[in-house]
Structure 1
Amino acid sequence: MDNHNKALIYVVTLVATLGGLLFGYDTAVISGAEKSIQAYLIDSQGLSSFLHGITVSSALVGCIIGGALSGVISSAYGRRIALIIAGVLFLLSALGSGNPEFLFFERGTPSMGLLWTFNFYRVVGGIGVGLASAVCPMYIGEIAPANIRGRLVSLNQFAIIFGMLVVYFVNWGIAEGQTIEWINEIGWRRMFLSEAIPASIFVLLMLFMPETPRYLALRNKDVEALSILTRFNGVEKAKEILVDIKKSVEKSSKGKLFSYGKLVIIIGILLSVFQQFVGINVALYYAPRIFESMGAAKNASMVQTIIMGLVNVVFTIIAILTVDKWGRKPLLITGSIGMAIGMIAISVLAFQDIIGMATLVFIVIYTASFMMSWGPICWVLISEIFPNKIRSQAIAIAVAVQWAANFFISSTYPPLMEFSSGGTYLFYGVMSILSAIFVWKMVPETKGKTLEEMEALWENKNA
């Protein structure tokens, strides 16, 4: 591949990963605002910790919906239009979450109606996240050459983590030097409103991006598909790739979900479940609160959250640099072992009521292990293990299950912590061990294989 083509592929990939950045931004913005939301909408009305948990994780309901709809939308309208729709939803959510009183309520007067309106706007953003989480890896995976596909899809995870890091800085910048009263009245609103800027940029740039050649081939738009493939790969290679794509499309014309057997669907679902059941989003959503429980002051907990965000970025870069060299399975198994060590150690410390620097160290070990493995590699595998004809349907199922698992883990965290903090972290540690066994026994290595070669693998297993 010449430099011009490689540069074009990276430009298109980077624009698509803005969807990942918004995914990270939207899911993590709540970390700086959740205590203010609790004070304004929960505690002021004497509501339960269960409603607090639901409010913090309400966007995940939208993520489940967005993930489930992603297959229908990306199949009917294309991957590009699906991402534009996601960007518009991010924008609407940012504006509505930052000013939920708009039109129907008096500002500064909390009520159940206002609580549900706030949650509605968070769900709208969640639908955008669900769409982006499914379609961004699909879009990149369908454009990327096999030899750098892992790296390019991993860039989406980097964008997710970078989005989280950006919003940690934004939240810290908004809260820095301000009183708790100001943050609880105005600061949390600015945190949500800040998302409108990257959302607008994403929508604008996606208007100029091409559709994926594999989607166009599925729609029998071979001339357009060949044109895009030629821009990316050169004339001869483009013709060769298009022939392979058309063969894979014709082999299973009906595209029924179980055309290639149930195993590939089960593996995709279990990848999604384990990515969430190891407990990563608890660490991300509740980071400032976790650090405050360790004795950090308000601003210090925000700074520690930023440090954790920087660790996440560094170890995601490690995954990007190694995924196409070492392979998917070695990274996943290594990460699972690291996560198990981190969470089990935190559990032991919690059972003994030891809170301090050791806890922070093991949280960093845990999150670093996740970010170099299950964070990016799960999305890489989900984007590449499914055959062309069922990819959009299968990814939609895997992503919807992933967000359902995320919602379950995140919403149960506050009541579980009230019951037993040590037991809660021990559960995540056990899930980390089980995730390693699952990868070792069931997940195929996909390094260096074209999407069409992966399709042949499932055909042989199902023969």
Structure 2
Amino acid sequence: MGVLPHVPGTRKGRARAYCFGFFICLAGFLFGYDTGIVGGVLTLKSYKNDFHYTDNTTVSAVMVSLQNAGAFIAALGVFPISERLGRKLTIQFAMILFCFGVILQVIPSHSLPCFYVGRVIAGLGLGSATAVAPAYNAEMAPKQIRGQLGSGMQSLFALGVMTSYWIDYGVSTGLPVSSRQWQIPVGLQLVPAVALGLGLLGCKESVRWLAKKERFDEAWASLTWIRADDGPEVKAEFNEIRVGLAAELRATEGLKTRELLEPANRYRLLLAFGIFLGQQCTGMTALAYFGPQFFKVLVGGGSQDLLITGLFGAEKFVMVTTYIFFFSEKWGRRPTLWISAILMACCFVTVNVVNKTTPAPKDHKATSAGIATVAMVFITNSIYQFSWGPLPWPYAAEIFPTRIREVGTSVGVSTQWLFNFVFSLTTPYMIKAWGSYTFTFYAILDLCMATLVFLFLKETKGRSIEEMETIFHSKSAFDVETARREGITKGLDGSVEEVEISPEWKRG
């Protein structure tokens, strides 16, 4: 099973594509680290001493919801900025904003409102970065490994969660009760944020964004940089991009917001919304936030639920990384999603049935049935990391034409942030009211998502971004193979306005 499939360009270009793709996914690491760090910080006595509060529930809810709200607003509204400034500069500005928010949280203000303001500002930066990074990645990645590189958002997210667990554990056991105990884990968010912002100085702007802005020399330089080659395959790819953009421009005749009303584009916007909604409906995000509460239902209280949560985080990273490097470009997007949703539903129903038909744990001692249900939850987590965890990120970025990719990815990622907030807010109440029946609730949602994917999702594995116009029956569809052949024979002469779209190329 080859880890590195053939891609256009040289071996150096293939390595550069992987390095660039996973580097951009540091935005996912920041998302995961922030998700995991908050819960641990709130348990520290030093944090409570510095901020002088007694209502743990309210502080927890406000702290999580404010950042999610800021991220949702930014993810939904960042596309005009990305369209104007480019992907690279937008992410750099987002990291400056994020760092400013983190600094407001770390300074010894002893003021919860100041900390909350820092959370909102950091959320604006984080939401912007997570919305733009998938589009940037998709527009630079070779189609043969676009799924791998896009799925890196989930891999780095899982790594961020796991890292945060261990840092929280380290400061709680290795440092005395002082401000440093909570400032260190919060302040460490600056490290990946600064690395991403400064690291982009050595990277090129998106090929397709540059071509859309008619900066064709820079676009060619960007493509040859990321492929580390300027041979026939790369020339063919560049011509495909140019012809695709020309077809978009001719088909839409300069329209802007009205382009979203074209049937093919409406369909894609609904898919971007739906696939990220489905990611949250699987129940695995709720498990990431509230693992100890879920595991307490299954095995009883005590420290064992925290230990299980730690192992759960480690499993997330191992499984999603295994999927990305060995299976992401071998399995189709559509069957992977609907089959996995059915399997997760079966696992969740099994957990509920076993939990309700066996004696409850007593005296904080896990029963054999409790251990079995935990094992089933771990299996469900593995299935999720092989499907709904990583796949929405590349899928929502790759299905849109260049002209509306900012809007499309913003809609998808803002959906993720919105329903992340909704399920993180409501799940504790579901656990309290329903107990293990919460698993059955998520099983029903999984079956709904499996049905919708089977009926409506389009397969995109191994197809170029320009080929999406044909897949979705857009009026700007064209014969990609003909364009690629002409790119090899004609070279790079001519601008996008001079590209002829012959009648025999057109489809739809």
TM-score calculated relative to the size of structure 2: 0.81
Q: Does 1:159 align with 2:156?
A: yes
Displacement of 1:345 after TM fit? Answer: 3.3
| Counterpart in the other structure of 2:365 | none
| Counterpart in the other structure of 1:308 | 312
Distance 1:70 1:186 in 2: 34
Which amino acid in structure 2 is aligned with residue 324 of structure 1? E
| Counterpart in the other structure of 1:247 | 243
Q: Structure 1 residues 301 and 86, CA, compared in 2 at 3 Å: closer, same or farther?
A: farther
What's the secondary structure of 1:265's corresponding residue? helix
Distance 1:47 1:296 in 2: 22
Deviates more, 1:246-255 or 1:29-38: 29-38
Distance 1:301 1:189 in 2: 26
| Counterpart in the other structure of 1:111 | none
Measured against aligned partners, the alpha-carbon deviations of 1:196-219 in whole angstroms (never above 9, x if no partner) come to 222222222122211110010111
Distance 1:38 1:124 in 2: 24
RMSD of aligned alpha carbons? 2.8
What's the secondary structure of 1:375's corresponding residue? coil
| Counterpart in the other structure of 1:93 | 101
| Counterpart in the other structure of 1:338 | 343
Deviates more, 1:350-359 or 1:12-21: 350-359
Judge conservation of contact 1:71–1:393 (CA < 8 Å) in 2: yes
| Counterpart in the other structure of 1:377 | 391
Distance 2:376 2:66 in 1: 28
Q: Does 1:69 align with 2:83?
A: no
Distance 1:323 1:432 in 2: 21
Distance 1:400 1:226 in 2: 32
Which amino acid in structure 2 is aligned with residue 219 of structure 1? K
Q: Does 1:257 align with 2:252?
A: no
Q: 5+ residue gaps in structure 1?
A: 108-113
| Counterpart in the other structure of 1:429 | 443
Percent pairwise identity: 27
Displacement of 1:177 after TM fit? Answer: 5.3
What's the secondary structure of 1:448's corresponding residue? coil
| Counterpart in the other structure of 1:198 | 192
Matching of residues 1-400 of structure 1 within 5 Å: 1-36=9-44, 40=48, 45=53, 47=55, 49=57, 52-99=60-107, 101-102=108-109, 107=110, 114-176=111-173, 182=177, 187-233=181-227, 234-235=229-230, 236-250=232-246, 251=248, 252=252, 253-255=254-256, 256-259=259-262, 260-291=264-295, 294-295=299-300, 297-298=302-303, 300-320=304-324, 321-348=326-353, 351=356, 354=360, 356-400=370-414
| Counterpart in the other structure of 2:481 | none
Judge conservation of contact 1:15–1:202 (CA < 8 Å) in 2: yes
Distance 2:105 2:441 in 1: 33
TM-score calculated relative to the size of structure 1: 0.88
Judge conservation of contact 2:319–2:385 (CA < 8 Å) in 1: yes
Q: Structure 1 residues 454 and 37, CA, compared in 2 at 3 Å: closer, same or farther?
A: farther
Which amino acid in structure 1 is aligned with residue 329 of structure 2? D
Aligned residues: 448
Which amino acid in structure 1 is aligned with residue 403 of structure 2? K
Q: Where is the helix percentage greater, Structure 1 or Structure 2?
A: 1
Which amino acid in structure 1 is aligned with residue 372 of structure 2? A
| Counterpart in the other structure of 2:461 | 447
Distance 2:226 2:56 in 1: 54
| Counterpart in the other structure of 2:482 | none
Q: Which entry has the higher C-alpha Rg, 1 or 2?
A: 2
